[in-house]
């Protein structure tokens, strides 16, 4: 698939720039349940760095997200089962809104590698608000190099990995992660550049690594119904934990109780602080102090 070079258009006609679109209905990549995977490849060239809203609806399969090549606003490569799902794609230049993914057609979607996959690349230089609703998905979301203003991830029976391997140049207004019967591992959370992070999980394990460059204090609100929560924080960061538990345990090793909360010994002197408000049921809350590499 070739990205069409930007045409010379007037401002009045710029919104009608043609999106590079390739739809292959005959190419077979795999076979599952007597169905053939079809492919959809869409892309658009970067014309300016105005903010963009990205809505992802992905019912089943494997999903990867990463930063795009410098000249690309977005690119989606999708392999899907046409009898089980139908592809979603639209871009509104006026509102700078991109919608991509797949929706179920009401029949069972095969699990694992037979469910299809989606690769989504997004512009590095464009401020992004991401709204993601995922079903039975194995998700690998690499936010490294992206300018993320808001990130909302709602995930069902899936395994999700989210990472910020480099500092986010955009100050994040909201970072909300909600998972159902799934596991969640988020790393580089200090790099996310978010003052407040909210995590909610139903059944499964949650791992939150606050590695990266600390530039501000962070408040974490985490609620887990059934499962374990592990929070990893560098030793030089002060930690305060308020924990509400029902038939759940809290590993408070290295923390000292003051009133209704637990504090690290360096809370008063630390250059940056993590405040945790946790609610756990039938599970375990654990805070680990780490040493920076």
The string of DSSP codes covering the chain is --PPPPP---GGGGGGPPPEEEEESS----EETTEE-EEEEEEEE------EEEEEEEEEEEEEEEEPPTTEEEEEEEEE-TTTEEEEEEEETTTTEEEEEEEE-SSPPPPGGGG-EEEEEE-SSSEEEEEEEEEEEEEEEE-TT-EEEEEEEEESS-EEEEE--S--SSPBSEEEEEEEESEEEEE-GGGG-BSEEEEEEEES-EEEE--S---S-EEEEEEEEESEEEEEEETTSEEEEEEEEES-EEE-TTEEEETTEEEETTTTT-SSEEEEEEEEESSEEEEEEE---
pLDDT of res. 154: 92
Average model confidence (pLDDT) across the chain:
85
Share of the chain above pLDDT 90, in %: 62
Say if residue 87's pLDDT is above 90. Answer: yes
Mean pLDDT of 148-165: 92
pLDDT of res. 175: 97
- Phi first, then psi: what are they for 192, rounded to 5°? -65, -20
Q: How confident is the model at residue 9 (pLDDT cuts 50, 70, 90)?
A: very low
Say if residue 40's pLDDT is above 80. Answer: yes
pLDDT of res. 31: 41
Q: For 98-111, what is each residue's pLDDT tens digit? A: 999 999 886 566 55
pTM confidence score: 0.84
pLDDT of res. 114: 61
Of 17-31, 114-128, 161-175, 234-248, the poorest mean pLDDT is in: 17-31
Of 84-88, 107-111, 134-138, 214-218, the poorest mean pLDDT is in: 107-111
Distance CA 230, CA 236 (A): 18
pLDDT of res. 134: 93
pLDDT of res. 213: 96
pLDDT of res. 73: 98
pLDDT of res. 115: 74
- Check if the beta carbon of residue 223 is closer than 8 Å to that of residue 235: no
Beta strand 284-290 with 228-234 is: parallel
pLDDT of res. 245: 76
Q: For 189-224, what is each residue's pLDDT tens digit? A: 999 999 999 999 888 889 999 999 999 999 999 998
């Amino acid at each position: 698939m070739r990205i069409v070079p930007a045409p010379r258009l007037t401002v009045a006609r710029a919104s009608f720039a043609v999106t590079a679109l390739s739809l292959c209905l005959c190419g077979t990549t795999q076979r599952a349940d007597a169905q053939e995977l079809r492919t959809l490849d869409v892309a658009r060239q970067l014309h300016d760095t105005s903010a963009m809203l990205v809505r992802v609806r992905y019912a089943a399969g494997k999903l990867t997200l990463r930063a795009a090549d410098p000249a690309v606003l977005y690119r989606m490569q999708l392999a899907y089962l046409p009898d089980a799902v139908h592809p979603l794609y639209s871009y509104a230049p006026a509102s700078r809104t991109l919608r991509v993914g797949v929706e179920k057609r009401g029949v069972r979607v095969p699990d694992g590698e037979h469910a299809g996959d989606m690769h989504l690349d997004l512009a590095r230089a464009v401020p992004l608000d991401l709204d993601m609703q995922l079903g039975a998905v194995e998700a690998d979301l690499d936010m490294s190099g992206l300018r993320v203003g808001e990130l909302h991830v709602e995930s069902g029976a899936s395994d999700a990995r989210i990472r910020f391997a480099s500092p986010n140049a955009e100050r994040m207004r909201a970072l909300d992660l909600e998972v159902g019967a799934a596991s969640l591992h988020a790393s580089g959370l200090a790099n996310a550049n978010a003052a407040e992070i909210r995590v909610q999980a139903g059944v499964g394990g949650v791992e939150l690594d606050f590695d990266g460059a600390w530039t501000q204090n962070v408040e974490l609100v985490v609620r887990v119904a059934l499962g374990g929560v592990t929070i990893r924080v560098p030793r030089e960061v002060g930690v305060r934990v308020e924990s509400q538990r029902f038939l759940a345990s809290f590993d408070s090793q290295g923390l000292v109780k003051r009133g209704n909360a637990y504090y690290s010994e360096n809370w008063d002197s630390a250059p940056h602080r993590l405040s945790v408000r946790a609610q756990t049921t039938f599970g375990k809350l654990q805070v680990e102090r780490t040493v920076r590499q």
